[in-house]
Amino acid sequence: MGSSWKLADHPKLPKGKTIAMVVLDGWGEAKPDQYNCIHIAETPTMDSLKEGAPEKWRLVRAHGTAVGLPTEDDMGNSEVGHNALGAGRIFAQGAKLVDLALASGKIYDGEGFTYIKDSFETGTLHLIGLLSDGGVHSRLDQVQLLVKGSAERGAKRIRVHILTDGRDVLDGSSVGFVETLENDLAELRAKGVDAQIASGGGRMYVTMDRYENDWEVVKRGWDAQVLGEAPYKFTNAVEAVKKLRQEPKANDQYLPPFVIVDDNGKAVGPIVDGDAVVTFNFRADRMVMIAKSLEYEDFDKFDRVRVPKIRYAGMLQYDGELQLPSHYLVSPPEIDRTSGEYLVHNGVRTFACSETVKFGHVTFFWNGNRSGYFNPKMEEYVEIPSDSGITFNVQPKMKAIEIAEKARDAILSGKFDQVRVNLPNSDMVGHTGDIEATIVACKAADEAVKMILDAIEQVGGIYVVTADHGNAEDMVKRNKKGEPALDKSGNIQILTSHTLEPVSACCHRRPGLGTWS
Ligand SMILES: O=C(O)[C@@H](CO)OP(=O)(O)O
Ligand SMILES: [Mn+2]
Ligand SMILES: [Mn+2]
């Protein structure tokens, strides 16, 4: 094929038909029991796809090495799922590239580390990111290696700004992760390195917003990490997390921001001129906003109050088009020649839509972590504003119907050849661990699929319905036998994370419009 963009005709699918590409976020296939919200919810449309045309319905793996993740224990996630769907190929993902760079030591020879290292002599090294072993955005073992490796290479003063998880790992597990990190930092202190945790907060409330849904989230992080200001002050991070978790309804995802202070009540690690900063998440979407606030001179999203002159590097470069950040420790996967680029070169017009919290999934991730259009004359991307400031179990229907209406109108308009959407419900509500709400969420997503397929039927088009990874089909932690695992008090443990389950892929022309197989 060389560098040509020409696409051969599909051997079976007819030309010139509108195609709907529907990604149900977090919709996997698992055994039907009471913790399978997709099974419990009324989902007549998805049921009819499976039962009505079983020969057009397949299960595909959406986790582990099948999608470019380091091991078979790695659950799928939106970044890898949409990267793979959008590019039609599998790339070694950020997690794996960071593992390799750490194992070979190459991470320390690269441009990014060389750049930040210049601050080690007189400044502090700050590490900001998600502290868990979830492996979706970051991994604890990578952070441990980076802290140790940086100290060995001259970092004399290290401050870690942690974000607690509870979304890719069990709620409550934050305490153990903080203890592990504290032990490592104590070992460094014994060797004469001034190393401490400096601030913290829950990932969904502090720093890790995405697609500009709510800049307040990033501001809360800025205030704690850079300015050293937060509503809660503690002298010890383990105590901070334990205490804040005691509040009614508190959970790891939404812990309020806190700073660690010394005996005089002074924050131990604000970021100041001459310091180095690394954001250690490898995954892009929830790091773009903090990267902008740390890197951009012109910035009007919130009042930064004080903008320290720092040397900043991301674990990876998070946005290839914006080249953000400009310094990074590990080169991201080069996801080139994605389907979106092929489509514009072949005169195929695209419409993509989701609500804010997943908008970048069908645009940015789909296009290989690249923001913007390939050709605005051939593409239209529509974002429906998400609710902000609430957890999604409060509004489990989210904007599914609004997304479907936009997709329906785009299909019926005749202006587009490919109409692609992400329906977020099963994932976003699944992450809250609220089973009742997740059932409502799955029903809403199913209704949205129906609206889109009905529109496809009207125009005699083709549909592909699939998912990026599992989530709502299994809401409980299980033992090796697959039974719900009980905690010390004999209670089941709700699973807020994605799963290792396969997802369905279904491609079809609507019945009555001729046959192909
Ligand atoms: O919310 C997120 O950031 C991840 C889970 O960490 O979910 P998804 O991959 O579905 O976007
Ligand atoms: Mn997802
Ligand atoms: Mn998710």
- The predicted pLDDT at position 54 comes to 86
How close is the Cα of 77 to the center of ligand 3, in Å? 6
Other Cβ atoms closer than 10 A to 150: 25
How close is the Cα of 78 to the center of ligand 2, in Å? 4
Q: Helix 435-459 vs helix 400-413: angle between axes, to the nearest 10 degrees?
A: 10
- The predicted pLDDT at position 448 comes to 98
pLDDT band at 376 (very low <50, low <70, confident <90, very high): very high
User: Which position among 3, 4, 48, 78 bears the catalytic label?
Assistant: 78
* CATH 3.40.1450.10 in the chain, residue ranges: 95-314
Does 482 score more than 80 pLDDT? yes
The answer to whether the beta carbons of residues 72 and 63 sit under 8 Å apart is yes
How close is the Cα of 365 to the center of ligand 2, in Å? 11
- The predicted pLDDT at position 513 comes to 43
Helix (H, G, I), strand (E, B) or coil at 47: helix
User: Percentage of residues in the chain with pLDDT exceeding 70?
Assistant: 98
Q: Tokens 């501001």 identify what position?
A: 219
Nearest atom in ligand 1 to 165's CA:
6
CA angle 232, 238, 240 (to 5 degrees): 15
Which ligand lies nearest the alpha carbon of 211?
A: 1
The answer to whether the beta carbons of residues 206 and 286 sit under 8 Å apart is no
Does 504 score more than 90 pLDDT? yes
Domain 19-91+335-509 class, CATH top level: alpha beta
- The predicted pLDDT at position 14 comes to 83
Which ligand lies nearest the alpha carbon of 210?
A: 1
Q: Which residue has a Cα nearest atom 3 of ligand 1?
A: 286
Residues with CB under 6 A from ligand 1: 25-26, 77-78, 136-137, 167-168, 286, 427
Instruction: For residue 299, give both structure tokens.
Output: 């910035």
Per the prediction, the chain carries an average pLDDT of 96
Asked if ipTM goes beyond 0.85, one says yes
Give the span between the Cα atoms of 119 and 363, in whole angstroms. Answer: 37
Which of 23, 63, 78 most suits a substitution to test ligand 1, by most atoms within 8 Å of the C-beta? Answer: 78
Nearest atom in ligand 1 to 77's CA:
9
Which of 23, 77, 363 most suits a substitution to test ligand 1, by most atoms within 8 Å of the C-beta? Answer: 77
DSSP-derived letter for residue 227 is I
- The predicted pLDDT at position 508 comes to 83
**273: β partners:** none
Does 514 score more than 50 pLDDT? no
Does 515 score more than 50 pLDDT? no
CATH number for region 95-314:
3.40.1450.10
How close is the Cα of 161 to the center of ligand 1, in Å? 20
How close is the Cα of 123 to the center of ligand 2, in Å? 38
Contacting residues for 225 by C-beta, under 8 A, at least 6 apart: 126, 128, 161, 198, 199, 207, 270, 271
pLDDT tens-digit readout, 334-370:
999 999 999 999 999 999 999 999 999 999 999 999 9
pLDDT tens-digit readout, 119-175:
999 999 999 999 999 999 999 999 999 999 999 999 999 999 999 999 999 999 999
- The predicted pLDDT at position 510 comes to 61
Q: Tokens 């959970």 identify what position?
A: 251
Nearest atom in ligand 1 to 26's CA:
10
pLDDT tens-digit readout, 225-249:
999 999 999 999 999 999 999 999 9
The answer to whether the beta carbons of residues 198 and 162 sit under 8 Å apart is no
pLDDT tens-digit readout, 419-460:
999 999 999 999 999 999 999 999 999 999 999 999 999 999
Q: Which residue has a Cα nearest atom 5 of ligand 1?
A: 168
pLDDT band at 52 (very low <50, low <70, confident <90, very high): confident
Which ligand lies nearest the alpha carbon of 466?
A: 2
Does 516 score more than 70 pLDDT? no
pLDDT tens-digit readout, 253-309:
999 999 999 999 999 999 999 999 999 999 999 999 999 999 999 999 999 999 999
What DSSP letter does each residue of 349-403 carry, written as one string?
Answer: -EEEEEEHHHHTIIIIITTTS--S-S-TTTEEEEEEPPP-SS-TTSSTTTTHHHH
Instruction: For residue 498, give both structure tokens.
Output: 């994605």
pLDDT band at 512 (very low <50, low <70, confident <90, very high): very low
- The predicted pLDDT at position 12 comes to 83
Active site residue 119: no
